[in-house]
Amino acid sequence: MPPTVEKFVLKNGVRVLCESVSHVQSVAIGVWCQTGSRMEAKSEAGISHLIEHMLFKGTHKRSAKQIAESIEGRGGHLNAFTDREATCFYARVLRDDVQNAAEVISDMLLNSRLAKEDLEVEKRVVQEEIRKYLDSPEEHIHDLHAQHRWKGHPLGKPIIGSHESVGGFTSENLADYMRRRYVPNRILIAAAGNLDSNALRDQVENLYQNCSGQVPLPSDPLPNGGAGISKISKDVEQVHFCIGCGLVNLYSDARYPAIVMDALLGGSMSSRLFQEIREKRGLVYAIGSYLSLYREAGAFTVYGGTNPENFDEVCELTRAELKKVRETPIADEELERTKRMLSGEMVLGLEGMSARMTRMARNEMIYEREIPVEEALNKTRSVTAKQIQDLANEYITDDKLAITAIGPF
């Protein structure tokens, strides 16, 4: 019998998801907070990411070193990340250590010191991270493209903030933001692996019993689509570029055709863009595509890096590949091969407990239900060539494309 997801809602509204997988020896556990860069006010740019850093700096019962040792000293792994709509603190541990991991993460989340002296150190760390990021055009280009394409919408804001915004935060700012955003109806605990779901539920009920409050998710207007070319001059060897456009949101039935179209165009070494521009012509080292799907809107983006002399040609070749999808139905063999690739990736990914934990957490935060793997596989397998062609003709047209590039212009 395949593993099933159990859902518990604590008295204060914290949701707990558990998937027991008896044949493994580990557990992945994550505490998800539905807050990220898109929820930040202009004066709060980067605060979610800075809080993520600060929660590792010590609690009222553990130093920063003791936090790390409490997981790593038992053979586990502890980390966190912030994105536009969520912040997650997660651990992968041996099956006998899941309750220890749950307690450590709750201590970080609920009892962090947010000490002023630690904050001054960590602000410098994040500012060094910003410098590293700005010195990496292959990373920086994606945020610049989001800003260009989404024209001032909260989804276009960089997650990391700026030197100025990060440098101005105080401990009181961080504590106030956490009081407003880290509240029970926006906290989700997910665990997958060899675990006792009832024992974990009882434990977190006790750990989070004093957590209170609630906040609605933001309701922002649809982002305006920005087309045209934005070039940023920088003394680098390559031009790093993004070419993309708006697309469907997470709730659209067309998201499955979008996923297949993305995989076909740039999702692998067998994709059209990779084969045509890198393998056949040798004009790039890296080229591919990706989807960014959110509650209000989505985006399709092609990323690549090329010699400045080849930039215009690569852009034209990319447009030509997008035009083919609009004008020529995809052959049955290519479509079936792409769908098999996606289905295989989905099934193989679920052999990892971290992937299982992440999948069920995101399903709950977005759809408020578990989407069975078989349902997702059937939706993928049922995508037709006409659905992809219709989607491309609606969204991926030349007049809607935004091009962003960093290079020695």
- pLDDT tens digits, residue range 30-86? 999 999 999 999 999 999 999 999 999 999 999 999 999 999 999 999 999 999 999
201 or 2, which is more confident = 201
Residue 2: predicted pLDDT:
59
- Only one residue has tokens 């494309």, namely 401
| 166, 46 contact by CB (below 8 A) | yes
If you average pLDDT over residues 161-175, what whole number do you get?
97
Residue 51: predicted pLDDT:
98
Six token digits for residue 187: 């906290």
217 or 405, which is more confident = 405
Residue 226: predicted pLDDT:
75
- In this structure, which amino acid lies at residue 119? L
**Which of 194-199's residues contact partners 24+ apart within 8 Å by CB, and which partners?**
194/20, 194/21, 194/22, 194/23, 194/24, 194/25, 194/26, 194/27, 194/95, 195/18, 195/20, 195/27, 195/95, 195/98, 196/20, 197/6, 197/8, 197/18, 197/20, 199/99
Distance CA 346, CA 340 (A): 10
| 57, 216, 377 from 39: Cα distances, Å | 24, 11, 32
Q: Helix 98-110 crosses helix 197-207 at what angle (to 10 degrees)?
A: 20
The radius of gyration of the chain from alpha carbons, rounded to an integer in Å, stands at 22
If you average pLDDT over residues 221-241, what whole number do you get?
89
Domain boundaries of the chain, sorted by first residue: 5-207, 228-407
If you average pLDDT over residues 225-240, what whole number do you get?
92
| 341, 269 contact by CB (below 8 A) | no
Average pLDDT, rounded, for the chain: 95
Which CATH fold topology does 228-407 show? Cytochrome Bc1 Complex; Chain A, domain 1 (3.30.830)
Residue 151: predicted pLDDT:
83
Residue 3: predicted pLDDT:
67
Alpha helices, DSSP H, located in 73-170: 98-110, 116-134, 137-150, 163-167
Choosing from 19, 52, 321, 364, which is the catalytic residue?
52
- Convert the pLDDT of each residue in 206-221 to its tens digit: 999 999 998 988 777 7
- For residue 31, give the DSSP letter: E
Given a cut of 70, is residue 319 above it in pLDDT? yes
Given a cut of 70, is residue 363 above it in pLDDT? yes
3-class state of residue 4 by DSSP: coil
Residue 403: predicted pLDDT:
97
Q: Sign of the C-alpha dihedral, residues 313, 314, 317, 319?
A: negative
Distance CA 357, CA 5 (A): 10
Distance CA 90, CA 83 (A): 14
Residue 221: predicted pLDDT:
74
Six token digits for residue 278: 């890198």
Distance CA 176, CA 279 (A): 52
* pTM (global) more than 0.85: yes
The reply to whether CATH 3.40.50.720 applies to domain 5-207 is no
φ/ψ of residue 293, rounded to 5: -110, 130
Q: What is the 3-state secondary structure (H, E, C) of 41-92?
A: CHHHCCHHHHHHHHCCCEECCCEHHHHHHHHHCCCCEEEEEECCCCEEEEEE
- Convert the pLDDT of each residue in 272-309 to its tens digit: 999 999 999 999 999 999 999 998 889 999 999 999 99
Same-fold call for 5-207 versus 228-407: yes
Given a cut of 80, is residue 270 above it in pLDDT? yes
| 255, 293 contact by CB (below 8 A) | yes
Residue 408: predicted pLDDT:
96
What size, in residues, is the chain?
409
Q: Which bin fits 58, alpha (ψ -120 to 50), beta or left (φ > 0)? A: left
Residue 266: predicted pLDDT:
97
Q: Which helix (H) or strand (E) holds 324?
A: helix 311-327
3-class state of residue 233 by DSSP: strand
With bands split at pLDDT 50, 70 and 90, how would you rate the model's confidence at 139? very high
The question of whether 279 is a catalytic residue gets the answer no
Residue 146: predicted pLDDT:
94
With bands split at pLDDT 50, 70 and 90, how would you rate the model's confidence at 315? very high
